[in-house]
Structure 1
Amino acid sequence: MGTWNEEEIGQIQLPDKTDQDPHPRLTLTGSGYGIHAGDGFTALFPDGWHEITIEMRWEETGAACWYISTPGLGHVCPVGLFVKL
């Protein structure tokens, strides 16, 4: 976790390597908070901050099951995004 202009910022990370679930939970840096399907965040993109919602596809396994459901941002992988906490 860090701060930018007094905002608490975290980064979406890959699941813990020991998570054996076929649909492992993404986490946030520092906090270890597990992300749930339907969670919303304010995420930093090259053109600024955007409100996003993260969802999970049951037919996919591993970290690839996670995606951004916000219209126009579905092609972006959520892993690595900086988000406001």
Structure 2
Amino acid sequence: MIWSQAEIDEVIATSPAHVTLGEGEDAVTIRARHPEENSRVTVCGGAYGIPVPEDQFVPIMLSYAQEPLIDFIDNASLVSTYGRP
């Protein structure tokens, strides 16, 4: 798919200024920002859909959850569940 400049401009113009994921203590607000801004970037960590075996899923995800710089996590994908593909 190839996007035209007009389509890109429309998406940028209609994108929300911020979005909040989660609630309470776990809420994370992602804000639109420009490259020259000094505000902190929201950091998403995780294995981003990478296939991992069941026995490695929890240790991998816990390692991301314990990283203080990460604001929210995108999960890995299980190769199998309860031994079934």
With the shorter chain as reference, the TM-score category is: under 0.3
Q: Which has the larger radius of gyration?
A: 2
- Relative contact order, CA 8 A, sep 6+: which one is greater? 1
Q: TM-score under structure 1 normalisation?
A: 0.26
Q: Between Structure 1 and Structure 2, which shows a larger proportion of helix residues?
A: 2
Give the number of the structure whose residues are more often strand, by fraction: 1
Query: What TM-score, normalized by structure 2, do the two folds share?
Result: 0.26
